[in-house]
Each structure stands twice: as C-alpha cells, then as structure tokens.
C-alpha cells in the first residue's frame, strides 16, 4: 500500500508518516522472528550438510539486513531519512522487504564459490533443517517431497540422504530411474508407468 501511495502524483506525507509508523511496528516483529528462525536453522544446517556431503564445514545462514535493530523508533527514523528519495523514485527503497539471506561456508559466500553439487547439498540441508523447524513450531511431522533429487547426487550422497531421511523424516521421493542399490532397501516403493 505504501508503494501505491508513492506512485500518486501528489503524495500525502502525513498519511505516509502514519503508514511508516505502522510498518515500523510490523517490521520490528518480522525482524525478530527472522533472527529467531535463522538462529534455529544455524544450529542444524551445518550438521545436516556434514552428514549429507561427508565433508567438514562451517555452513551458516547469514541474515543480510539494512537494519541491525528491531527498535520501531530506529526503523521509523530510517524510513523518514529516505522519504524524499522514496517519493522521487515512487517506490519504497529501504525496509525489511529488502533483506535477504546468504549461505556462507568456511567464511565464503556459497553463491560465488560453491560447485553445483555443493549448492544442491546446501539446498537439501536447508530443506531438512526447515522440516525440523516446522516440527518444533507446530508439533507436527511434515512430509518432505523430493522430486527426482537422486539423479542429481552421486552414489555416496544418495545413500547418505536416504539414511538421514529414514531416521528423521517422512518422505516421498520421485525418480524416473531408481539406482540399483535402492531396490534392495526396505522402503515402500511404487512403480508407475
């Protein structure tokens, strides 16, 4: 709604100020919840990554934010400081919607340094840690859906993924072709033509 207001030829600055106060309160809550989420995920993602990839690492999720404060007053001041810029560009240029996360392994941003295989392991680790988060918050055991993920992994990683999934998760895995070793495992398998 703020961006809609900014797109008007004549912006009502008092209405924008009221909106900014309300946004600052909501942003403070979102900021705290995101920090809590990332702290939880960071307790698990490295452990899961190590189990899947069989390599030691210090994988972490880093929260990239424009604000290091959950104080609504500070957030309002930041918005006020860029109000003229926002009015000029007719869009909200600062705020929690601009925040992001990055995956950092051994101090390096994985977007810049990781191989495709490492990136796949990071995403799988994130998804598995996310299931633990959901289970902790809801008390329910979610179902993990993995579509053709085995074809993207080498044999050792396939085995480690299946072992980890069998220990902690309910999972449905689809595959166009089953690796030979899976046929001998005690998982329920359905073949559809």
The pLDDT assigned to 134 comes to 95
Which of 34-38, 113-117, 183-187 bottoms out in mean pLDDT, i.e. has the lowest? 183-187
Q: Which fold has domain 2-141?
A: Glutathione S-transferase Yfyf (Class Pi); Chain A, domain 2 (1.20.1050)
The pLDDT assigned to 123 comes to 93
- Listed in order, the ranges of the chain carrying CATH 1.20.1050.90 are 2-141
Beta carbons of 175 and 148 less than 8 angstroms apart = yes
Q: How many CB atoms lie within 10 A of CB 104?
A: 17
The pLDDT assigned to 191 comes to 74
With 90 as the cut, is the pLDDT of residue 10 above it? no
Most confident residue range from 119-128, 150-159, 166-175, 181-190: 119-128
The pLDDT assigned to 69 comes to 78
The pLDDT assigned to 100 comes to 94
The pLDDT assigned to 163 comes to 85
Average pLDDT over residues 66-78: 84
**Three-state secondary structure string covering the chain:** CHHHHHHCCCCCHHHHHHHHHHHHHHHHHHHHHHHHHHHHHHHHHHHHHHHHHCCCCCCEEEEECCCCCCCHHHHHHHHHHCHHHHHHHCCCCCCHHHCEEEEEECCEEHHHHCCHHHHHHHHHHHHHHHHHHHHHHHCCCCEEEEECCHHHCCHHHHHHHHHHHHHHCEEEEECCCCCHHHHHCCCCCCCCC
Say if strands 143-147 and 170-174 run parallel, antiparallel, or are unpaired. Answer: parallel
What percent of the chain is predicted at pLDDT more than 70?
Answer: 97
Model-level pTM? 0.83
Mind listing the pLDDT tens digit for each residue in 96-150? Answer: 888 999 999 988 999 888 888 889 999 999 999 999 999 999 999 899 998 888 8
Count of positions (residues) in the chain: 193
Nearest CA to 103 among 61, 142, 134, 158? Answer: 61
């Amino acid at each position: 709604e703020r961006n809609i207001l900014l797109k008007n030829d004549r912006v009502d600055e008092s209405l924008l100020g009221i909106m900014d106060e309300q946004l600052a309160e909501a942003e403070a809550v979102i900021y705290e919840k995101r920090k809590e989420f990332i702290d939880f995920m960071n307790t698990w993602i490295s452990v899961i990554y190590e189990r899947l990839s069989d390599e030691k690492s210090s994988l972490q999720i880093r929260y990239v934010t424009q604000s290091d404060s959950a104080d609504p007053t500070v957030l309002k001041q930041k918005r006020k400081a860029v109000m003229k810029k926002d009015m000029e560009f007719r869009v909200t240029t600062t705020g929690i919607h601009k925040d992001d996360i990055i995956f950092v392994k051994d101090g390096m941003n994985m977007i810049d340094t990781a191989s495709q295989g490492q990136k796949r392991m990071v995403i799988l680790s994130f998804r598995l840690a996310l299931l633990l988060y959901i289970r902790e918050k809801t008390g329910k055991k979610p179902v993990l859906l993995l579509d053709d993920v085995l074809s993207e992994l080498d044999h050792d990683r396939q085995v480690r993924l299946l072992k980890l999934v069998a220990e902690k998760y309910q999972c449905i895995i689809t595959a166009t072709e089953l690796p030979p070793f899976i046929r001998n495992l005690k998982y329920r398998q359905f073949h559809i033509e």
